[in-house]
Amino acid sequence: MNRIFRLISPAPLGVRIRSRECFTYLYRVVMFVGYTPPKRDVQRYLYLFWSCLVFTIAELYAPVGLVLSLIKNFSNFTPGDFFNVLQVTFNVSGATAKTIVVLFLFSRINQMESVLDIMDERLRRDDDRCRIHKAVADSNYIFLVYAIIYGTFLTSAFVIGVFNGHPPWLFYNPLFDWHNGSTRFWLQSILEQIVVSLTGLTLLVSDTYPLIFLVMMRAHIDVLRERIRSLRTDLHKTEAENYDELICCIMDHKLILKCCAIMRPIISGIIFVHFQLVGVVLGVTIINILYFSDFIHGISSIIYLTGILLESFPCCYLSDLLAEDSKDLSNLLAQSNWISAERKYKSTLMIFIQHVQRPIVFVAGIIFPISVNSNIRMARFAFSVMTIVQQMNLADRLKKVTR
């Protein structure tokens, strides 16, 4: 057990840990859902078959099956069942869009890892390695927390559905009717759980990729900040050596910018999809909790609500912190020991300051800055959905229809 979860604790300095290992646990899920086919012939074709099967089940059948269920079984739904299926339908549709973004831009992740390897080779001090080791541990720990929360919701929904005598997700199934016998009921429930579990795994990948990347970038900026603080503090170094240290800081900053530029389209696409759906999903979920859920369904919906908030809020928060960290570099450079430096050093420093004054910013869909403020503005639409339901008195109308 300790060997399986060894990466959630910072490794000692004697162990070589690379920055790319922050994705270790995530890549195990990536390999399972079919994103990384091997190069060998027979294994490659078998793996591609599995990849197509997962995509067909999790990304095509899941949203279509839920939409058809809403259409075909509307008259048989209770209001609680209707809103349970509706809230999942929106999120599953978003999961499909996020997965398409990741699949089309997956080659960029390999490019990003190559840049991370170059950045690791430039780590010279033990303190720098300690920061990277801690970031790797934090990243893998974050992934496990997300996996536990997502898995808890999927398991609770399955158990609640089975105990209430109906399949947990109520997918449309054209092959057989789950009402005809306990065998078909259990077969429908298990098949639905497999479908939603695969969808949950692909959603877990797309939701944690940007978050883990931002954690690692903040660690490398922290390393750069310490290097800037140490500029021209060693009295035994010559002016040429001090200038070389400044050039090293400039190269480190360029590598960080390159890494962010590679990952920017992936992060932009994933968060843009979530921004389009978060308000509606939150609104439907809150309505379901307030008007139609009993105590047990309410607990499951609250876990689901937590998962929805985790899809974007931590990423937006870290994006704000990364922007602040990058802006702070200019202040550190201005406060460094440059007054007695040579003219060549000063002119290079001034150019460097001008470049670092531009913060590292991510934008969702070239429209919305990825920030906490943007996330809150999108989430406010949930209150608009609730207002519409209250003004039209939809809750009471739905309750009367089902009586």
Neighbour-count burial of 322, counting CB atoms closer than 10 A to its CB (0-12 exposed, 13-18 middle, 19+ buried): buried
Tokens for 141? 């720990």
Phi, then psi, of 363 in degrees rounded to 5:
-125, 130
3-class SS at 171?
Answer: coil
Neighbour-count burial of 165, counting CB atoms closer than 10 A to its CB (0-12 exposed, 13-18 middle, 19+ buried): exposed
Name the residue with tokens 């040579």: 342
> Residues 6 or more apart from 395 whose CB is under 8 A from it?
79, 287, 291, 292, 389
How does pLDDT run across 223-266, given as a tens digit for each residue?
999 999 988 888 888 888 889 999 999 999 999 999 999 999 99
Kindly state the average pLDDT of the residues 321-347: 89
pLDDT at 401: 52
E strand or H helix that includes residue 368: strand 368-369
pLDDT at 222 over 80: yes
User: Which of 33, 28, 36 lies closest to 53, judged by CA?
Assistant: 33
How does pLDDT run across 59-79, given as a tens digit for each residue?
999 999 999 988 888 777 777
Helix axes 182-229, 24-33, angle to 10 degrees: 140
Residues composing the chain: 403
Rounded percentage of the chain residues whose pLDDT exceeds 70: 93
> Residues 6 or more apart from 84 whose CB is under 8 A from it?
170, 288, 297, 301
Domains in the chain: boundaries: 19-402
**Mean of the per-residue pLDDT values for the chain?**
86
d(CA 188, CA 171): 9
pLDDT at 95 over 80: yes
Are the C-beta atoms of residues 362 and 267 closer than 8 Å to each other? yes
> Residues 6 or more apart from 123 whose CB is under 8 A from it?
129, 132, 223
pLDDT at 250: 93
d(CA 359, CA 367): 17
How does pLDDT run across 118-174, given as a tens digit for each residue?
999 988 888 889 999 999 999 999 999 999 989 988 998 898 888 888 888 889 888
Phi, then psi, of 400 in degrees rounded to 5:
-70, -35
Which runs of consecutive H residues, i.e. helices, occur in 55-181? 62-72, 79-104, 106-121, 126-163
E strand or H helix that includes residue 379: helix 372-379
d(CA 82, CA 86): 6
